[in-house]
Chains A and B, each alone.
Chain A
Amino acid sequence: MTITVERGVTGKKTQAGPPRRPRDSYALFLLPGVLAFLAVIVVPFLMNTGVSFTDWQGVGSPGWTGLANYRELMDDSEFWASFRHSLFMVVAMAALPTAVGLVLAAALFDYVGKHFGSKTVAVLRACFYLPQVLPIAVAGIVWSWILAPTDGSLNELLKAIGLSSWQQDWLGDPDIALYSVMGVMVWVQIGFPLVVFMAGLQRVDPLLHEAAELDGAGWWSRFWHITLPQIRPEIYVVLTWCTIAALKVFGAVYVLTKGGPGGATNVPSYFSFTTFFEKTQVGYGAAISTVLTVIILALSLIGLKLQTRAEEGDGS
């Protein structure tokens, strides 16, 4: 598509329509947002970074220690273990919900919607989205009851259906606890990609599907070759958003396991929290959160870059 610019005989742009406001006046509208961003994001981040170069205990005078906290961090096995657990959380909160959300969204859109009507789809969509609405503290407490080793609903259910040998201490066994927390997080997260993908599917031209169907393409073929490429921007948004959420996950770990048993579910944000408030090593805690912020920022930029590239690819 080409854009035609009207020009006068002198070659200068002609003034069409109402006179434009000076650019400066728009800056006023940006001011509240910029100030809020400075006050809530930039200033605390800079202060946190400053504190990370000290041995501050939260009160009193901080002593400058340079890069000592960062050097200690590099050798801290607990810190690296917490990051390894974060990768598991990325699988649970980004990869799995995105994959499952895609299939569910396509199934609801293509099958349930056509055979049972839009109301049924709306109800099911709301049900899947419900865990996103629940406060994580409430959801966490309910899940801790479900996963309780004695009298927990899950173990009772397994017993009732004759699978007693499958009973576990879901949150108390170090070999299982991380997977249990991951399971809960899949349940929590799945509604978000589902809703975004269903919105994305609304804008896919139905003629593409109809044409493919006439050509004999099955559901899976249409999903793979039409649906997926068409909603690629939504997939990038969801993956970026959920990866960030996974890296900074805190509430679920706090409520379900407090990083235990034996550190098996510790994640960087919880590790930073205990370093701040339990050990009162505020300087070290600040170093952890600074590193975490930088990693999240880098991943966000990569995600945005990929998204932009995908959109440009679509537009070409």
Chain B
Amino acid sequence: MLTARRRVVAMAVALTGSLLLASCSDSDSGSSEDGKTLKLWHYEAPNSAMGQAWNEAIKEFKAKHPGVKVEFEAKGFEQIQKTAPMVLNSSDAPDVMEYNKGNATAGLLSKQGLLTDLSAEATKRGWDKKLTPSVRTTSMYDAQGVMGSGKWYGVPNYAEYTMVFYNKDLFAKYKIAEPKTFDELTAAMDTFVQNKVTPLANSGAEYPAQQYLYQLALSKADRAWVDSYELYKGKTDFHDTAWTYAADTFADWVKKGYIGKTSNSAKAEDAGVSFIQGKSPILFSGSWWYGRFVDEAKFDWGTFLWPDSNLTLGSGGNLWVVPKGAKNKKLAYDFIDITMSKKIQNLLGNKGGVPVAADVSAISDPKSKALIDNFNALSQRDGLAFYPDWPVPGYYDVLVSETQKLIAGSGKPDGYLDALQEAYDKGAPKQ
């Protein structure tokens, strides 16, 4: 017969064993489709163009699938970004989820076997015909998780690209015409500095600073350069002409006062607000700001593409992905299909987004029309060059950290390029 002490020890061993087993076992139990619930996650703000379009898509889905419950959960970008691999590897995975595109994100998940291959659905439902090749690049990933070829693991329903937003009122105040060339842009910035106005809205703590830098490099680059950097189709040398020009020019811009040193700790939001408040006359950033500026900027503003550059930052937007462990994949495909419909795409366009399959004649708002026309021009000339943080997991932090050193003046362009090279070589797939 067990003594009390032995009973206690036996219970402890049994419970600890169960805990260990539970913690080590594969939590992805999986189950067959019940067709009764669609579990959906996305991270678009409800008042953004995408948020409004996806809400309409949910209504449409419910109308077409009576009896199916849509369990929508609004998530944060960072929340999904940081926890996606863990969540998708568990039984809590949703049926369809918005996820960031690129090698270091959707590519990494596809390589890890966490996403469903959508190739058959893309052909069957015609998504492959609706997306132009440059937009489709971020949908497809090879076995190494490199975008541009292989199987379909995601579907973007919108696109995004960067442009120069400028405050027409401030330009008029200092008698500056809209810059048509890069020289005119720098001349305009000189005029602002002479009038004690910091021309560029910037944020060192988040993406805007690295996007200025990447755009400067792109203005001296071509498609082969982008393919080498983003798709590993060649050796990337950070001391080449384009990167060297970008780092030197950026450091020079800080010295000249085009970029304020006090922007080093600023967030992207601060850069946007600085433009909205009329403090900085120029912001180079993405189309995701467009709808907000329409709503909030109280002055006359306009946009133009970065002058003297064929390439700019941009791509298909974030992706709809279907986790490998999704319980209702058929419903997920139906939902994606609805977001690709003309009705939802046109709504997206009229709300200030950049649709990928809209009927352009149905876009009535003139500002939205201009936005889409610019995108179409870029897309047709194969001008989307993706984003600088895509090639390597964790590269975003490296870029933020190193660019902050340039802004602060504690890092020199040469050291900056060395640091980028080291992190890139360490993280990029070995060729």
Contacts and interface: CB of A to CB of B under 8 A. Distances in A.
Interface of A: 22, 24-25, 27-28, 31, 34-35, 38-39, 43-44, 47, 57-60, 148-150, 169-175, 177, 257-263, 274-275, 277-281
Give the 8 A-B residue pairs with the shortest CB-CB distance, closest first. A172-B265, A279-B394, A172-B264, A149-B262, A261-B404, A262-B405, A24-B4, A171-B265
A170 B4 CA distance: 62
Contact of B401 (A44, A150, A259, A281): A259
Contacts of B411: 262
8 contacts: A25-B4, A47-B24, A59-B85, A150-B279, A260-B401, A278-B393, A279-B427, A280-B394
Contacts of B401: 259-263
Given A149-B263, A280-B108, 18 more contacts: A24-B4, A27-B5, A38-B16, A43-B20, A47-B23, A57-B85, A57-B108, A149-B264, A150-B279, A173-B264, A174-B408, A174-B410, A175-B410, A257-B265, A261-B404, A261-B408, A275-B394, A281-B393
A174 B405 contact: yes
Nearest to A147: B265
B19 interface: yes
B205 A27 contact: no
A169 B264 contact: yes
A46 to B, nearest CB: 9
B112 A60 contact: yes
A27 B404 CA distance: 57
B114 A59 contact: yes
Contacts of A263: 401
Interface string B101-143: 0000000100011100000000000000000000000000000
A260 B400 contact: yes
Nearest to B19: A39
A280 B19 contact: no
Contacts of B19: 38-39, 43
Interface string B67-89: 00000000000000111011011
Contacts of A58: 85-86, 89
B4 A172 contact: no
A278 B397 contact: yes
Interface residues of B, number: 46
B396 A174 contact: no
B11 interface: yes
A47 B22 CA distance: 13
Contacts of A25: 4
Contact of B261 (A59, A172, A177, A277): A172
B108 A43 contact: no
Nearest to B402: A262
**Most chain-A Cβ atoms within 10 A of its Cβ — which of B114, B400, B408?**
B408
Nearest to A171: B265
Given A173-B264, A174-B408, A261-B265, A59 B393 contact: no
A22 B5 CA distance: 10
**Most chain-A Cβ atoms within 10 A of its Cβ — which of B16, B112, B262?**
B262
Interface in B252-308: 261-266, 279
A274 B397 contact: yes
B112 A262 contact: no
Given A172-B266, A262-B404, A262-B410, A24 B5 contact: yes
B195 interface: no
A43 B23 contact: yes
A258 B262 contact: no
B265 A169 contact: yes
Interface string B1-36: 001110010011001100110011000000000000
B204 interface: yes
A27 B4 CA distance: 9
B85 A280 contact: yes
Nearest to A262: B405
A171 B405 CA distance: 13
Given A25-B4, A34-B12, A274-B397, A59 B404 contact: no
Contacts of A148: 265
A280 B205 contact: no
B394 A274 contact: yes
B265 to A, nearest CB: 3
Contacts of A170: 265
Nearest to B423: A279
Contact of B204 (A172, A175, A274, A280): A172
B79 to A, nearest CB: 11
B359 to A, nearest CB: 40
Nearest to B392: A279
Contacts of B4: 22, 24-25, 27-28
Contacts of A173: 261, 264, 408
A17 to B, nearest CB: 22
A280 B395 CA distance: 11
Contacts of B262: 149-150, 169, 172
